[in-house]
Amino acid sequence: MTKHLLGPRAKRGPFGYWSIGQVAIGGCAGVAAMVVVVVSPTILGLLAAVAIAFAGATLMLMTIESLPITHWVPSSAVFVVERLGGRRVWRSPVPGSGVTSAEPVRRAALPRQFGELEIVSIGGADGRPAGMTYDRERNSLVSVLEVRLQAFGLRDPAEQDRQLATIAKLQNDLARPGSPVRRVMFVRRTIPQQVNEMVGYLREKLAKPVGCGPVQAMLEAMDSTAKGNQEHVLYLAVETSAVPRERRRGERKEQELKRAGVVAVRELGRIHRYMQTAEITVKSGDGILTPTELSYLFADMCDPFERRMLDRLKLREGAPDPRPWPLALDDAWPYVRLDGADHLAWWIPDWPPVPVEAGWWEALTLQCEAPLVTIAVVLEPVSIKLAKAQARRRLTGDRADVETRTKHQMIETSEDRARRWQGEREEQELAEGHSAWRYEAFVSAAVPAGADEHRRLVREQVESACVQAGLVPAFMYGLQLDHFLCTLPLCRGMR
């Protein structure tokens, strides 16, 4: 079985593998200790200097949720200020304002954290309208493909290698110079299965009438055993440029937006062809979600406990598109509440440091007991020139570190060796012609609003599943809404 090495994800910066905040804390503590010794050259002054240096080293090395304390201090301060100022609680003004005859349709109000989003319709390749999320602030269009899941781990090694080679070609194509693709995002949702599809299929195809006693008993038994089953859905979101900035004003803006949409549809067609080569099927023809389907998707992800109402809306002929965005928001310290659902969000700062097989996600995707889990991975291509310069800089720094340890007879830890191997592997992949990508991963889970005990249980289940999969989850206190938005198919989350 072929294994793949994904981690560690350590990034070398101006101060090696230390962040600027950690270096600033250590430097300030050292300067303060020297000042105390100079001002008070006594035993008490020396003890105070040692205490200051020890406190600085502790703060420099301290981690909370696998992240240094310098990551939490600014975000915690912002959370407290905004919470006291009421900026973390939002209610939509649309339900109370109504509509007028002069303005029969009002644009949906959005919380400021969502940005300026709008679902637009672009003509697709097969005549179906293609739904795209237009982000005015980021000047981008995001299209979504629904991919039909297949058991990759059940394929023989030769088929797996061929499929991975095709995906690698797709990555190189998307990262080509001049490509309109900015980012690519994979979103995998695990949701409770509302309808037993096998029972529905048998009800349609059985030759005997469903009312027959033995047949009815068999269908009821199958339907009862299917309760609690989970449905797994995979979406591929692609972000492209929208309106050129120099043309964002005037009457030509709508025309330029449609032209950008046509470019996005063409790029999605290219992705569809690669998927067909890799024997990965997409749903609904070319697979691009329509504006109505995209509205349903966002509405379901924001409040999945209203699925029955959404399903009834789908059955009504001529029913309007559902509102894709929430009407109420409460961004608390350990969760974010959107309408009738509480969402928990994690950031995955590191990946498995050992080689893993194709099914390494199963602990989180298939074996996790939490009923509503979303896993999102966002990728951004890096230019080959910049990636090679960063790889050379990293190799030089790592080799200097090795020589320094050898000269001073310092021990090289397994973590140091893993970082060095990672740099060498990245440089080798670039030399072999592979494209360079930056990526981040996020996980979110949903529970009914106000279910505190359920929320605690789901958090334990998700974090346990992440550890079994070799992931390092970081629960994002005070940043729940920001990281939940990173699990929506909006291609956000790059750091």
DSSP readout, 63-95?
Answer: EETTEEHHHHHHHHHHHHHHHHTTTTEEE-SHH
Nearest to 377, CA basis, from 308, 314, 293, 471: 471
Distance from C-alpha of 379 to C-alpha of 280, rounded to nearest angstrom:
19
Cβ-based neighbours of 211, under 8 Å, separated by 6 or more: none
**236: buried, middle or exposed (CB in 10 Å: 19+, 13-18, 0-12)?**
buried
CB burial readout 257-288, b (16+ within 10 A) else e: bebbbebbbebbeebbebbeebebebeeebbb
pLDDT in tens, the chain (495 residues): 566 667 666 666 666 677 788 888 888 999 999 999 888 888 888 899 999 999 988 888 888 877 888 888 888 898 999 889 888 899 888 776 665 555 444 456 788 888 888 888 887 656 678 888 998 888 889 999 888 766 666 677 777 777 778 888 888 888 888 888 899 999 998 877 655 555 555 555 555 555 566 656 665 655 554 445 667 788 999 998 877 554 545 445 677 778 888 888 888 888 888 877 777 777 655 568 888 888 889 988 998 887 666 665 554 555 556 778 888 899 999 999 998 899 999 999 888 877 777 677 777 877 777 778 899 999 998 888 888 888 888 888 888 888 888 888 888 888 788 778 888 888 888 888 888 888 899 999 999 988 889 899 999 999 988 888 888 889 999 999 999 999 999 999 887
Coil, helix or strand at residue 444: strand
Angle between helices 252-277 and 157-174 (to 10 degrees): 160
Q: For 207-218, write each residue's pLDDT tens digit.
A: 555 556 665 666
Nearest to 428, CA basis, from 391, 376, 400: 391
445: tokens are 């889970």
Distance from C-alpha of 247 to C-alpha of 225, rounded to nearest angstrom:
58
